[in-house]
Each structure stands twice: as C-alpha cells, then as structure tokens.
Amino acid sequence: MWTFSVAHQHKLLLVWTRRWHKPASLPGVGSQFASYRVSAALRRPEDRSITPGAKRRSRVLNTSGVPHKSVVSDGRQHGERSTQTRGWKNEPPVLQTADQWRGGNSRVSSELRKLCLEDFPAERERPGRHKPALDHKAEDYEIVFGVSPCLLALTQGRRKARKLFVKDEEASQRTSVLTVCEEAHRRGVQVQRVTKKDLDKMSSGRVHQGVCLQASPLSYLTEDSAPSRKGSNAPLWLVLEKIQDPMNLGAILRSAYFLGVDRVASSLHHSCPLSPVVSKASSGVMEAMGVYGYENLQDMVKVKVAQGWQVVGTVGSEAGAPQIPVTQCSDFKMTKPTLLLMGSEGEGLSQQLLSLCQTLLTIPAGRELSPGIESLNVSVATGILLHSLLSSR
C-alpha cells in the first residue's frame, strides 16, 4: 500500500495536470483522474484533519468504466518506484507528542489527554522541563503549609507573603483551597500551581492540604511592640518556660486563644521558635495571636508581682514545694491579675520560677495511676488549667 502526505499529493496532482493538457495521452488510458488517499497512521499532524477516513488505495477508470490495474499515485506501475517515493515509504510513522496533544487544534477529550501523558513518560519527565518552584530569593522566606495557617497568614498581615503554591489536581477545587487562592489574589500575591511532589518537598513531608505559602518568618513580640488595649479586670497571662516541642507549643497556643488568655509569654532561650510547624499545630492561631518573648522570665515575673499580680505555678499530684500551698485547680478562684506558669516537657518549672510562685495548682487524677504515667502532656495540662482558671474569673 502506498501512502503520501497532502504536500506530496499536490505535487503529483500538478504533474498529472500538465500531462493531461499535452496532446498525447498515456497509452491505453482515456480521460483519467487520480484519487489520493493517505492512511491515518502516516499522516502528519497538520494533515490529519484534511482527509479523515481515507481509503487505502485508488482505482483508475477509463471512459468505459472498466477498471485497469491499480497504479501508483504518480501514474507509474507498481514495479516503478521513484527515489522520493522510497523515501516516504521508509519514513517512520509521525506520531503526535504530548505537547501537540495539549496545545494543538485537535479536539481531544480530557480522558485522552490523560492517557497521552501517561503514554509519554519521557515527555512528562524530561530534564529541564520542570522548573523549580522556589528560586534563590527564597532564603529570606519560609514555607507556611496547611489551609488555615496560609489563610490566616494572608489575612492577618503580620507576614510578607510572596507566593502561594497550590496542588495542580482536583484537590485545588475544594472550597477551602479556593478561599485561600482568592485571598492571595485579592492581596496581590502570586499563585502558582505545582505538583504534590513539590509541596511535599516544601513542607518536608508534612500534611500541607494542597497549599503552601512562601512568606517572611514570624518572631516573638517584645514589650515595645505590645498594643495598648484594655483587657479584663483580672487578666490572665500564660507564661511558658522552655517548651521545646513545636507540636506542644502549637496545641497550647490554640487552647489559649480559644479559652481567652490575654497574653502568652515565652522564654527565648531553650524554646522552640515560632516555626511553620507550630503554626500548623495551632491550626493557624499563631498567625493571629502574638507570642511575647523574654530574655529573662524571672525579671518579668518580679515586675508583675510588684504591680500586684499573683503567680500560680503547676505541680504533679504527688509533688510539692516547701512552704508553697498546693491546691486542686477546681478549688482555685481567680480574683485578680494572674500569671500561670507552665514548665518544660521533661523538667517542669525551674527552681528560679518555682520560688516566685504563691500557689501551686494540681490536676487530680480520676483513677489510681500506674507507675510511669502519673502526669499529663504539657499541652493537655495547660488546657485543663486554663479552662479552670478562666471559668472562675
């Protein structure tokens, strides 16, 4: 079977036309015409839409309607082949690449496009085609991940947002993700669609929910940056000493914000920074609630004691400190400004802060405890104590 492109057909047609107008015609053939058909397998991409459903070979008829032998499209017998014809015969089939399927004029369904991409892994993973999402300017920024942290980071305006990355799949059509994209667009932040692999790399494999935000980092606030606002008659400050687990810090911030703590203060040394992990663990509360950092918590507590604040520490159910009363949290009533001190995960409060406490609160257990599990996680204990104090205020 002989097959030709449309360009070749036009050339042969021109040759036929010139021969037709000559006085002498081919021997044994009257008024003749040639019908050119090209198989779909060898048609070039730009030619396929011109001759759909073409037949595989042509027949030459004379004026009497009696079929002659099949001839090649240029009028020669099967035994005669031109050099150009051999070249076309030996050419490999011209198939469309993945880019032509995506960007061409062919009407292809989304299912076929997907199959096309799967059939061309070399096109999909060709080196140099995929540009890195982050550039050299990313050194001054960090990656906030998760729907709530990204949305609050945009709306609160405490960070300088640079770029929002969204997973390029059906998950990007969720209402929560679209809300983040709309907020970024409203604030003039560039939105870029990337793969899940890119987002996994940005978030170090953590749960990003399909969105990551490149933004400036957050740091602890100072007394100089404290807003002048009126609080309650008996404000409650939560003072954290050497909380090192970002998941604990995030959970503490979330409880403190929800229950109505007036301020969260933390030691700057031996404490975890206000990282994107903390923001995700707090469900974005860290973006809205300022956390104050102090070089020396002991000096800050002394200043508050001089102003008439009471200092409340925490202790296990079996422990205690000399000359400091221990009270169950359910029996304590908060009647004046109070500092609630929470110690680190392993060691609890330091002796310096413990010596400044006027009362120690304990959480009674609801059963006889087995050895080794006599205490609660610091974030859980903080939530229980905050609820008890604020309920009594």
Q: Which one, of 261, 288, 285, lies nearest residue 342 by Cα? A: 261
Residue whose token pair is 């800050």? 300
Task: Give yes or no for residue 34 having a pLDDT over 80.
Answer: no
Q: Which one, of 392, 387, 381, lies nearest residue 251 by Cα? A: 381
- Contacts of range 61-67, beta carbons closer than 8 Å, 24 or more positions apart: 61/32, 62/29, 62/30, 62/31, 62/32, 63/30, 63/31, 64/30
In one-letter notation, the amino acid at residue 206 is R
Residue whose token pair is 């010596």? 355
Instruction: Read off the tokens for 366.
Output: 């609801």
CA 279/CA 281 separation, integer angstroms? 5
pLDDT in tens, 60-81: 444 444 444 444 444 444 444 4
Residues 6+ apart with CB under 8 A from 299: none
Query: Can you tell me the mean pLDDT for 210-221?
Result: 96
CA 86/CA 375 separation, integer angstroms? 87
pLDDT at residue 133, as a whole number: 62
Task: Give yes or no for residue 189 having a pLDDT over 60.
Answer: yes
Q: Which residue has the higher pLDDT, 16 or 216?
A: 216
Structural domains in the chain plus CATH codes: 1-95 (no CATH), 96-128 (no CATH), 137-215 (3.30.1330.30), 223-365+373-392 (3.40.1280.10)
Q: Which of 22-36, 174-188, 315-329, 336-350 has the least mean pLDDT?
A: 22-36
For the chain, give the percent of residues with pLDDT over 90: 50
390 pLDDT band, cuts 50/70/90, is very high
**What three-state secondary structure class fits 291?**
strand
173 pLDDT band, cuts 50/70/90, is confident
Alpha-helix residue ranges (DSSP H) falling in 167-296? 175-186, 196-202, 246-259, 276-281, 285-288
Residues 6+ apart with CB under 8 A from 43: 5, 51, 94
CA 49/CA 36 separation, integer angstroms? 15
Is the CB of residue 250 less than 8 Å from the CB of residue 280?
A: yes
State how far the alpha carbon of 107 is from the alpha carbons of 101, 118, 207, in Å: 9, 18, 38
Q: Which residue has the higher pLDDT, 2 or 149?
A: 149
Task: Give yes or no for residue 25 having a pLDDT over 70.
Answer: no
**What three-state secondary structure class fits 321?**
strand
CA 150/CA 336 separation, integer angstroms? 37
Task: Give yes or no for residue 145 having a pLDDT over 80.
Answer: yes
pLDDT at residue 132, as a whole number: 55
pTM of the model: 0.65
pLDDT at residue 277, as a whole number: 97
pLDDT in tens, 360-389: 999 998 888 888 787 899 999 999 999 999
In one-letter notation, the amino acid at residue 144 is V
Instruction: Read off the tokens for 248.
Output: 């604990």
Q: Which residue has the higher pLDDT, 104 or 312?
A: 312
pLDDT at residue 67, as a whole number: 47
pLDDT in tens, 328-359: 999 999 999 999 999 998 888 999 999 999 99
Residue whose token pair is 């990313």? 138
Is the CB of residue 309 less than 8 Å from the CB of residue 337?
A: yes
CA 254/CA 252 separation, integer angstroms? 5
Q: Half-sphere exposure of 35 toward its Cβ, with a 13 Å CA cutoff? A: 10
Mean pLDDT score of the chain, rounded to an integer?
Answer: 75
292 backbone φψ class: left, alpha, beta (φ>0; ψ -120 to 50): beta
**What three-state secondary structure class fits 57?**
coil
pLDDT in tens, 98-135: 444 444 444 444 444 443 433 434 334 444 445 556 65
State how far the alpha carbon of 22 is from the alpha carbons of 25, 61, 64, 224, 382, in Å: 7, 19, 21, 101, 104
Q: Which of 14-18, 160-164, 301-305 has the least mean pLDDT?
A: 14-18
What is the side-by-side order of every strand in the sheet holding 326-328? Answer: 291-294, 263-267, 236-240, 338-342, 310-314, 359-362, 326-328
